[in-house]
Amino acid sequence: MAIELRSGFKYGTVLSIAVVLFAYWFRLPRSVLDERLDAVLSSLLRAERKVGINDVARPRVAVGFGGCVDIIVDGVTLLNAVGLQPAGRPLHHDYVENAEQLAQSFAYFFAPGAASERFVLNDTLFSQLVEASRELPGNRWSIGGNAPVMASRMAGEGCSVLLGGSFSTDFNDVLSQHITVAGNTVEEPDIHLILEYPAGATWGQYTSRRANRYIIHSDDHNPYLDSMEEFEKRLQTFKPDLLVVGGLQMMDNFPFKQGQREALLSHLARMLSSAAPQTSVHFEMASFVDEDLLWDLLRFVFPHADSLGMNEQELPNLLSLFRGTNVTVLSDPNPRVATVLDQMRELYRLVNRRQQAAGAGRPLSRLHVHTLAFQAIIVTRGSQWKNTMSATAKASLTANRHVCGSADIDPSKARLLMDESFSVSRREGSQRIPLQETRPVSCWLEDDYEICVAPVLVCTEVYQTAGGGDNISAAGLVLQI
Ligand SMILES: *[C@@H]1O[C@H](CO)[C@@H](O)[C@H](O)[C@H]1NC(C)=O
Ligand SMILES: *[C@@H]1O[C@H](CO)[C@@H](O)[C@H](O)[C@H]1NC(C)=O
Ligand SMILES: *[C@@H]1O[C@H](CO)[C@@H](O)[C@H](O)[C@H]1NC(C)=O
C-alpha cells in the first residue's frame, strides 16, 4: 500500500518508517509520561483551535429523533439495592423480560466493559428499577437520547439547531436558546436508566475491564418517531447545512404491529431522499441486535447518508451483516488502530459498492469511528467535508471532556492508551506511523479518501460515559460543515 502521509498540520511528507520503537511509554519514568501527555494535549488544543465556527452565520443543523430523561446511577449499586444476585453465567438477550435475564445480560457486557443498550419488555420490572434508582444516593438526572445530546453539543459549539423530538414542557425549558423543537408535547417523557460502572468495578465474580454503561429503556414514544411529521414540515423552511439522524435503536426489538416499523422507516427514507443536495446527511449508529431492523436501516437509511458515526462495537456489528454472518453483539472493547482501520476501509468500500449497484442515493463520503483510545475519520477526497484533521482533534478532546465532565482537560486525570506508533493495517508489511506528541493527529491519503487518526487522552476519573459517542460525533461534525 503506497501511502502519502500527512502528519499534523501540513500535507506532503512521505515517511518511511524503518524503526519500530518497542519502548511503550508506561515503562518510561512518570515525568517523561507527563511531558508527553502535556505535549499531546497542547498540540490537540492547537489543532482544534485552528478552525473556528462562524457564530455570526451559525451553521444550521437539523437533528432527529426523539429524546428522553436519563437517570444515571452506579450500575452495581442499583443491582445490589434491588437485591439482584450476580448471574451464574453471562448470557446475551435481545431484550429483557425478567430480572434473571437482566442479571445475565448485564454480566455479559459488564465484564468486558462493552457499551450496550437493551429494551425491557416488562413494565413492572422497569418501573421497579426506575423507582429504586430515584431513591439511590448519588443518582443524577439529565437530558438524554442521541438527538438532544447531539443537538445540545452542536448548539454549544455555535450552530443553530432544529431538534425533532417529543418532549415535556420542562424539558423544552432546559434546552439551549439556539435549539428549536419540532414535535409534540408529551406529559410523561420516556425514561432511560443508565447503569454506569468504572473500570475495575466488581459484581460478584465479575470485574469490569473498562469504564462503560449498560442502558435499559422501555419507551412509549421514541420507537414511533412521532416527531417526524412536524420535523419534516419544518425542514423545508429551516434549510439545514447538515441533517443528522440518530435514536433509531429505540426501534430495536420493540413490539411493533406487523408492517408498522417498515412504514415508519420508509417515511424516513422519503424525508431523507428529499433533502436538498447541499444538505449533508449524517446517520449515527447505535447498539442494535435486531437483524431485521439492521437490514431495514441498510435499505432505508444508509442510501441517503453521506456520513456515518459509530463506536468500536457498532462497526463490527454492521460488518457482520454485510458478511452474512450472525450479528455480533460483543466485540473487543479495546481494539487496535490497525484492526479498526481495516474494518473502516471495508465498510466504506462495501457501503459504496452497494450504493453504486443501486444507482441511486448518495455515496458514503465520511466515516467516523470513536473508540476509547483513539478517534478515526475517513473522508472522500474532494467531498464537501472540511477540516478533517481539526475535527479528529476536536472529537478526541471532546471524549475526555465528556467522560471527565469538565470542559478544561486536567492532564493528571488522563492517560494515553495508544502505543508510540501504530500500524495502518493488519496486512503484513504495512506501514507504521509514529505518534508524534507535537503533531498527534496523523492524516494520510489512500485510494480516493483521506484518513485521520488522533489519540484520546483517556479520562481516568470517570464522571459519565453515556452520551459520549453523541457528543464526540457532534463535535467532529461541527468543524466539517
Ligand atoms: C416482570 O417482572 C416482574 C418483576 O420483576 C416479575 O414478577 C414478572 O414475573 C415479570 N414478567 C415476566 C413475563 O417475566
Ligand atoms: C447463528 O445464530 C443461530 C441462531 O441463533 C445459531 O443457531 C447459529 O449457530 C449461529 N451461527 C454462527 C455461525 O454462529
Ligand atoms: C454531552 O452532552 C450532554 C447533553 O447535552 C451535556 O450535558 C454534556 O455536558 C456534554 N459533554 C460535553 C463534554 O460537552
Ligand 3 centroid from CA 149, angstroms: 7
- 42 domain-assigned: yes
As averages over each run of 10 residues, the pLDDT of the chain (481 residues) reads 36 28 45 85 96 82 94 97 94 96 97 93 96 96 92 95 91 87 90 95 96 93 94 96 96 94 97 96 94 95 98 95 88 94 98 92 97 97 97 97 96 93 96 96 98 96 91 97 94
Burial class of residue 66, CB neighbours in 10 A (0-12, 13-18, 19+): buried
Instruction: Find the length of the chain.
Output: 481
- Asked whether the CA dihedral 273, 279, 280, 283 is positive or negative, the reply is negative
* pLDDT value at residue 421: 95
- Supply the residue whose CA is at minimum distance from atom 9 of ligand 1: 98
CA-only gyration radius of the chain, Å: 22
- 219 domain-assigned: no
* pLDDT value at residue 28: 54
DSSP reduced 3-state for 449: strand
Ligand 1 centroid from CA 216, angstroms: 16
C-alpha distances out from residue 69 to 145, 170, 171, 216, Å: 8, 11, 8, 12
DSSP string for residues in 99-118: HHHHHHHHHHHHTTT--EEE
Distance, CA of 280 to CA of 336 (rounded, Å): 30
Distance, CA of 192 to CA of 189 (rounded, Å): 10
| pTM attached to this predicted model | 0.89
Q: Is the shortest distance between the CB of 122 and ligand 1 below 6 Å? A: yes
Candidates 157, 152, 46; CA nearest to 480 is 157
Closest ligand by atom to 129 CA: 1
Q: Is the shortest distance between the CB of 163 and ligand 3 below 6 Å? A: no
Distance, CA of 166 to CA of 70 (rounded, Å): 15
Which residue's C-alpha cell is 442521541? 146
> What is the grid cell recorded at 303?
442510501
- 422 domain-assigned: yes
* pLDDT value at residue 340: 98
- Cross-strand pairs, 449: 380, 446
- 68 domain-assigned: no
Write the CB contacts of 207 (distance below 8 Å, at least 6 apart in sequence): 111, 200, 201
Alpha helices (H) along 19-122 = 30-49, 75-81, 99-110
- Supply the residue whose CA is at minimum distance from atom 2 of ligand 3: 149
Which residue's C-alpha cell is 506528541? 437
Ligand 1 centroid from CA 97, angstroms: 7
Number of domains into which the chain is organized: 1
Ligand 1 centroid from CA 125, angstroms: 6
Q: Is the shortest distance between the CB of 326 and ligand 2 below 6 Å? A: yes
- Supply the residue whose CA is at minimum distance from atom 4 of ligand 3: 149
Q: Is the shortest distance between the CB of 402 and ligand 3 below 6 Å? A: yes
- 1 domain-assigned: yes
Return the number of other C-beta atoms located less than 10 Å from residue 102's C-beta: 25
Domain of 379? 1-50+280-291+299-481
Ligand 1 centroid from CA 121, angstroms: 9
Q: How does 311-326 read in b/e, with b if 16+ C-beta sit within 10 Å?
A: bbbbbbbbbbbeeeee
Return the number of other C-beta atoms located less than 10 Å from residue 290's C-beta: 19
Q: Is the shortest distance between the CB of 97 and ligand 1 below 6 Å? A: yes
- 284 domain-assigned: yes
- 79 domain-assigned: no
* pLDDT value at residue 31: 73
Please name the amino acid found at residue 184: N
- 458 domain-assigned: yes
Distance, CA of 412 to CA of 37 (rounded, Å): 9
Angle (deg, nearest 10), helices 30-49 and 388-404: 120
